[in-house]
Amino acid sequence: MTAAKISVQCCIAGGGPAGMMLGLLLARAGVDVLVLEKHADFLRDFRGDTIHPSTLEVMHELGLLDDLLKLPHQKTRELNGYFGGLALTIADFSHLPVRCPYIAFMPQWDFLNFLDTHASRYPTFRLKMQSEVTELSEENGRVVGIKGTSPEGPLEVRASLVIGADGRHSIVRARAGLPVVEIGAPMDVLWFGLSRCPADPETTTGRFDVGRIFIMLNRGAYWQCGFVIPKGSVENLRAKGLPAFRDSVTQLAPFLADRVGELQEWNAIKLLTVKVDRLTQWYRAGLLCIGDAAHAMSPVGGVGINLAIQDAVAAANLLAEPLRKGQPTTEDLGRVQQRRMLPTRLTQRMQLFIQNRVIRRVLSSTDTLTPPFPVKLLARFPFLRRIPARLIGIGVRPEHVR
Ligand SMILES: Cc1cc2nc3c(=O)[nH]c(=O)nc-3n(C[C@H](O)[C@H](O)[C@H](O)COP(=O)(O)OP(=O)(O)OC[C@H]3O[C@@H](n4cnc5c(N)ncnc54)[C@H](O)[C@@H]3O)c2cc1C
* DSSP 8-state assignment for residue 286: T
Contact 195, 164 (CB under 8 A): no
CB 18 within 8 A of CB 291: yes
Q: With 80 as the cut, is the pLDDT of residue 398 above it?
A: yes
Ligand 1 nearest atom to the CA of residue 291, by list position: 26
Pocket of ligand 1 contains residue 17 by CB under 6 Å: yes
Distance of alpha carbon 164 from alpha carbon 291, whole angstroms: 9
C-beta separation of 176 from 287 below 8 A? yes
Lowest mean pLDDT among 35-49, 109-123, 272-286, 388-402: 35-49
CA angle 6, 10, 15 (to 5 degrees): 90
Q: What residues are paired with 12 via a beta bridge?
A: 35, 163
DSSP helix/strand/coil, 59? helix
Phi-psi category of residue 106: left, alpha or beta, with phi > 0 → left and psi -120 to 50 → alpha:
beta
List, in sequence order, every beta strand (DSSP E) within 165-282.
180-182, 187-195, 204-209, 212-218, 222-230, 270-272, 277-279
H-helix segments, 146-241:
171-176, 234-240
CA distance 102 to 100: 6
Instruction: Give the DSSP letter string of 169-183.
Output: T-HHHHHHT--EEE-
Closest protein CA for atom 8 of ligand 1: 48
Residue 46 alpha carbon, nearest atom of ligand 1: 1
Residue whose Cα lies nearest atom 49 of ligand 1: it is 16
Q: Which of 109, 225, 305 to mutate to test the pocket of ligand 1 (most atoms within 8 A of CB)?
A: 305
Q: What is the mean pLDDT of residues 19-42?
A: 97
How confident is residue 45, by pLDDT bands cut at 50, 70 and 90?
low
**Percentage of the residues of the chain whose pLDDT score is greater than 90:** 82
From residue 10, how far is each of 94, 138, 373 by CA, in Å? 39, 15, 48
* 311 Cβ inside 6 Å of ligand 1: no
DSSP 8-state secondary structure symbol assigned to residue 371: P
The string over 78-95, giving b where at least 16 C-beta atoms fall within 10 Å of a residue's C-beta and e elsewhere, is bbbbbbeeeebbbbbbee
Select from 12, 20, 37, 156 the residue to mutate for testing ligand 1; criterion: most ligand atoms less than 8 Å from CB.
37
The helix or strand, by DSSP H or E, that contains position 128, with its residue range, turns out to be strand 125-128
Tens-place pLDDT, residues 158-180: 999 999 999 999 999 999 999 99
Residues 6+ apart with CB under 8 A from 193: 46, 219, 222, 223, 224, 225, 268
DSSP one-letter string for 79-106:
EEEEETTEEEEEEEGGG-SSS--SEEE-
pLDDT tens-place string over residues 257-266: 999 999 999 9
Question: Which atom of ligand 1 approaches the CA of 20 most closely?
Answer: 25
Residue 3 φ/ψ, nearest 5 degrees: -80, 140
- Give the whole-number percent of the chain exceeding pLDDT 70: 100
Q: Relative to the CA of 304, which ligand 1 atom is closest?
A: 19
The answer to whether the Cα torsion of 24, 30, 31, 32 is positive or negative is positive
Half-sphere exposure of 168 (CA within 13 A, CB side): 17
Q: Rounded to the nearest whole angstrom, what is the distance from the C-alpha of residue 228 to the centroid of ligand 1?
A: 19
Confidence grade of residue 352 (pLDDT, cut at 50, 70, 90): very high
pLDDT tens-digit map of 269-293 = 999 899 999 999 999 999 999 999 9
What separation in Å is there between the alpha carbon of 48 and the centre of ligand 1? 8
**Gap from CA of 399 to ligand 1 centroid (Å):** 20
In total, the chain counts a number of residues equal to 402
- Count Cα neighbours of 240 within 13 Å in the Cβ-side half-sphere: 10
- Across 350-369, average pLDDT: 89
227 lines ligand 1 (CB under 6 A): no
Instruction: For residue 365, name the pLDDT band (cuts at 50, 70, 90).
Output: confident
Give 376 Cα–ligand 1 centroid separation in angstroms.
34
239-248 pLDDT tens trace: 999 999 999 9
Q: What is the pLDDT of residue 387?
A: 92
**Ligand 1 atom with the shortest distance to the CA of 13:** 43
What pLDDT does residue 43 have? 86
Cβ–ligand 1 contact at 350 (below 6 Å)? no
Asked if the model's pLDDT at residue 46 lies above 90, the reply is no
- The helix, strand and coil proportions of the chain, stated in percent and rounded to the nearest 5, come to 40, 30, 35
Give the mean pLDDT of 22-31.
Answer: 98
Q: Hey, what amino acid is at 186?
A: P
345, 358 in Cβ contact below 8 A? Answer: no
Average pLDDT over residues 337-355: 96
